[in-house]
Chains A and B, each alone.
Chain A
Amino acid sequence: MIGATLKSNPETEKFRRSPATVMTLARMGSAHPTRLSFLRHLLRRMTGGDWRFERSVWQMDDKGVGRAVYRAIGPERTYSLVAFAHDLPPEMRSDRVIATAWDATFTLFDGTPDAADLDRLEANVPLQEAGRISPRELSLSRANRSVRLFSHVVECLAAGQQPDIAEIDAVGYLMRTTAVYGSGKFGASDYALVADRAELSIPFQAEMLSVWLTRQFTIDIVEHMARVRGGDAAVPLDSAIKHALGVGNSTGLGMAPYLVRHPVLLNNWMMAREEALARVRAQPDATPDAVAGLKAAVQAARENAAYWRSEHPIQIGKLSALRNDLETVDTHLSAWPMTEDHPWDALWTWGEGTLSLEGQEALLAAMLEPHGELVDDLCSGMSANETASFAIDGTMKVGTLRRVLEDRYDWALCIDFADPANCARFWYVSEEKLEPRLGNRNTEFGQDLEQPLCTGRLAQELHVALADWNEEQLVAEFLLANPDQRYMTRRAQRCGTYPYSEVRDNLIADTTLPIDLMRCKLAFFGASRFDPRSDKWVRISLFQDQVYPSDLNWRVVQ
């Protein structure tokens, strides 16, 4: 268990940021992808030389309707992205989870599908939530075209020309996924069944592989449509333009509660990242290679920030601060390192005192970048078995539980929940789509069906319920008399063991921004160009500027 390992490392512990610093919504909502992100981990494995790739099926008609199979063939196992392309009328195209039709639908198959598998999948995958997949499948997803850019690219390529770079930069992707379902969803394999495979032991590797292969599909389908239209005049997409394209992703509220519902997983992600930063800061000196690597990473971050666009007022402000911060960092680095002891720690301490939260988290990502050998092994601690910590410890004394609350939920115990502003919202699940939503407590129906995401208020209620109990009494006795406190008792005990497991902010305040939770999760995925379209849904990009399978050991089966 990562927590146990890390606690026994006094060398780095003194450099580690506290949960009180890290686990606030404002800072989680400023998270940047790092080299520990799941997408980066996947690419390290895929580009390591052990894997080859092929497009084994391409049955596509002149309307771009048909199916394709992409295989990732590893040393032990093969995974196949099965793609179904559709001809979607414009009026049906929507990124909302309430959509019922998409431009393309996908599943990641465990192995190589035969014709019967493909027929079974064709009867189900295009239906998405209304269909049914099996334990042979590891993910279920769909994507819509960026209508504007897709059409532009098809027209240009068909005419033998390359698309306008300004158009490419303005959008950044040909297609965007609108949901990528994984572990156990709609009949897919439970994660526990495949978690012992090296290539899937880090979280979200199947989902990331599926999106990476989807990125290849988006290029192949746009070139296919260009050939249909232009015939011999059509040209393939220029390599540099191709690399500037990622896969977009559009994500709504459904993702927001995930980190609250998987506390041990959240802890392990945060703990890995924080230990990585601590290891970098704990180094007594800075090698020339690492200094050069840092400066290159800061330059890359500056370029990324220059292309990163948003129309959301909050994100516009944060982006402006980020660009200024990165310039400040750049200037600071011209005279760094001096002869100081522990130069990385000095750099970090300077950044903490100088930069906005966006800038600090960007600096963190840049500081990890040249330190693969020092930190990449931490990825192995980022998965979690939530079941292992499910059972409540009834032998814990009431006094101990109370101290956990006072230590790790101090932020919650001081909130005045009688103030309507502090409980203005409530999380619920919609009957229509069985998706999480956030309602206004004063004006919307359904607060009696509130989901237990109001962790701060629940912690305070538990603290009140414990008030009359003697320090020496046992949690088992307390729960026998207070079965309703079981939920929060479990959370609090977990937080006692896993200090980064709880978001230390009120999730039902009028000021709560659900996009902060999404930003944090998406950064751990490796998403860039975070672009909120409201405080409840965002667009991001995945795999932008990264390699394609077709850049590696690749073949197309004719």
Chain B
Amino acid sequence: MTQTPNDPTMSGSPVETVAGGALSCAEIEALSLKAARGAGLSWGMAEEAGYAATWLEVRGLDGASTLLALLDLYGDGDLASLSPDVDDRIWRAKGAHLCPLAAGTALSDFRGLGQADIASGPLSITNVAHPLLLLPFVHALANATGTAVHLTSEGDTCSVDPTGAVWGDIAACSDRRDLTLSSEAVPQDPVTPSKTACIIDKDTLRRLQDYALRTTVPASDASRAGAGAATTDND
């Protein structure tokens, strides 16, 4: 690009695309959706990834970085068999471990049905990778049942109530876990946010953008022409 003394693009101090401030929800959702698609998820599942990451980020939980960690697992081909085996009272991975988006969407899809019935007894979901990403879908379950849903793992409990508020200890959702879902009431305090809402660190942002770029087509003369004007637009 020609730079001239009057070039208005140079009238301000240089600004990075994202200067470390908060992203809008629209940006987080769009970036997460594209990144998930770029990592190979179907469009419908990528939409769920966008929804889930945003749901977590607005609550000050690590939605974006957790999604990134999950997408890295996809890169390893580790979650090739997506859907869980949904048996009576226990859900299992078909592969090495269970994708939280696959398990989460199934929880949401089966809300109100026997497969996800937690009113009559606890439900086990085994070997879930990055179970933090389950919480947005547990919210849908809590909504359907009208009561808080509790996730318990290794002595830690974390809950989501029908309003979408998160309670208890988020450690219950860290790493890779066997989880138990129940509607049994456990008195808890509001969860401590792990970060400032919607601020995503630069490295996470850059790496999600790298995934997102995989959904785009490199420019060519044909594509530039295809964007619009074939004639002058400067009159």
* Interface residues in chain A, defined as those with a beta carbon under 8 Å from any beta carbon in chain B: 65, 84, 86-98, 100-102, 105, 122-124, 126-127, 130-132, 134-135, 144, 146-148, 183-185, 187-192, 250, 252-253, 387, 390-392, 394-395, 428-435, 437-440, 443-446, 449, 452, 474-476, 479-481, 483-490, 533-534, 536-537
Q: What 1/0 flags go to B102-113 for Cβ under 8 Å of A?
A: 100110111111
Apart from the given pairs A89-B2, A96-B228, A534-B228, 4 other A-B contacts in the complex at a CB distance below 8 Å: A135-B22, A395-B113, A432-B223, A476-B106
B143 to chain A, nearest CB (A): 9
Question: Could you tell me the distance between the alpha carbons of A438 and B228 in the complex, rounded to whole angstroms?
Answer: 10
Contact B9 A126 (CB under 8 A): yes
Contact A101 B7 (CB under 8 A): yes
Contact A490 B47 (CB under 8 A): yes
B80 to chain A, nearest CB (A): 12
With A252-B227, A446-B217, A480-B83 as given contacts, are A147 and B234 in contact (CB-CB < 8 Å)?
A: yes
Partner of B11, one of A91, A95, A122, A481: A122
A194 to chain B, nearest CB (A): 12
Contact A537 B229 (CB under 8 A): yes
Partner of A148, one of B2, B8, B235: B235
| Nearest chain A residue, comparing its CB with the CB of B42 | A484
With A91-B2, A132-B18, A431-B216 as given contacts, are A190 and B26 in contact (CB-CB < 8 Å)?
A: yes
Contact A489 B13 (CB under 8 A): no
Contact A134 B227 (CB under 8 A): no
Question: Could you tell me the distance between the alpha carbons of A536 and B222 in the complex, rounded to whole angstroms?
Answer: 13
B187 at the interface (CB under 8 A from A): no
Contact B44 A86 (CB under 8 A): no
| Sampled A-B contacts (9; CB under 8 Å) | A96-B228, A126-B8, A185-B26, A187-B21, A429-B216, A439-B217, A444-B223, A449-B215, A476-B109
Contact A253 B226 (CB under 8 A): yes
B120 at the interface (CB under 8 A from A): no
Question: Could you tell me the distance between the alpha carbons of A90 and B83 in the complex, rounded to whole angstroms?
Answer: 57
B contact residues around A392 at 8 Å (CB): 105, 108-109
Contact A444 B220 (CB under 8 A): yes
With A101-B8, A187-B23 as given contacts, are A390 and B17 in contact (CB-CB < 8 Å)?
A: no
Query: Most chain-A Cβ atoms within 10 A of its Cβ — which of B8, B218, B226?
Result: B8
Contact B228 A253 (CB under 8 A): yes
A contact residues around B219 at 8 Å (CB): 430-432
Partner of A96, one of B82, B102, B109, B229: B229
With A90-B234, A131-B12 as given contacts, are A485 and B228 in contact (CB-CB < 8 Å)?
A: no
Question: Could you tell me the distance between the alpha carbons of A183 and B26 in the complex, rounded to whole angstroms?
Answer: 8
Contact A486 B42 (CB under 8 A): yes
Question: Could you tell me the distance between the alpha carbons of A402 and B73 in the complex, rounded to whole angstroms?
Answer: 35
B contact residues around A434 at 8 Å (CB): 216
With A394-B109, A444-B220 as given contacts, are A429 and B215 in contact (CB-CB < 8 Å)?
A: yes
Contact A430 B227 (CB under 8 A): yes
B contact residues around A188 at 8 Å (CB): 24
Question: Could you tell me the distance between the alpha carbons of A485 and B43 in the complex, rounded to whole angstroms?
Answer: 9
Contact A431 B24 (CB under 8 A): no
B213 at the interface (CB under 8 A from A): yes
Question: Could you tell me the distance between the alpha carbons of A429 and B8 in the complex, rounded to whole angstroms?
Answer: 27
| Nearest chain B residue, comparing its CB with the CB of A91 | B2
| Nearest chain B residue, comparing its CB with the CB of A490 | B44
Question: Could you tell me the distance between the alpha carbons of A449 and B228 in the complex, rounded to whole angstroms?
Answer: 20
With A88-B8, A93-B234, A130-B15 as given contacts, are A431 and B218 in contact (CB-CB < 8 Å)?
A: yes
Contact B8 A480 (CB under 8 A): no
With A432-B219, A486-B44 as given contacts, are A395 and B112 in contact (CB-CB < 8 Å)?
A: yes
A208 to chain B, nearest CB (A): 19
With A100-B1, A431-B219, A488-B44 as given contacts, are A250 and B233 in contact (CB-CB < 8 Å)?
A: yes
B90 at the interface (CB under 8 A from A): no
Contact B220 A476 (CB under 8 A): no
Partner of B43, one of A124, A135, A430, A452: A452
A contact residues around B82 at 8 Å (CB): 483
Contact A126 B12 (CB under 8 A): yes
Contact A184 B24 (CB under 8 A): yes
A-facing residues in B1-34 (Cβ within 8 Å) = 1-2, 4, 6-9, 11-13, 15-19, 21-27
Partner of B230, one of A127, A184, A487, A534: A534
Question: Could you tell me the distance between the alpha carbons of A297 and B218 in the complex, rounded to whole angstroms?
Answer: 49
Contact A95 B24 (CB under 8 A): no
B contact residues around A440 at 8 Å (CB): 222
A-facing residues in B179-213 (Cβ within 8 Å) = 213
| Nearest chain A residue, comparing its CB with the CB of B44 | A486
Question: Could you tell me the distance between the alpha carbons of A250 and B213 in the complex, rounded to whole angstroms?
Answer: 27
B142 at the interface (CB under 8 A from A): no
Question: Could you tell me the distance between the alpha carbons of A61 and B86 in the complex, rounded to whole angstroms?
Answer: 71
With A95-B233, A430-B219 as given contacts, are A132 and B19 in contact (CB-CB < 8 Å)?
A: yes
Contact A86 B6 (CB under 8 A): yes
Query: Most chain-A Cβ atoms within 10 A of its Cβ — which of B4, B27, B47, B216?
Result: B216
Contact B15 A146 (CB under 8 A): no
With A430-B217, A431-B216, A489-B44 as given contacts, are A96 and B24 in contact (CB-CB < 8 Å)?
A: no
A-facing residues in B61-85 (Cβ within 8 Å) = 82-84
B contact residues around A135 at 8 Å (CB): 22, 24
Query: Most chain-B Cβ atoms within 10 A of its Cβ — which of A123, A437, A444, A489?
Result: A437
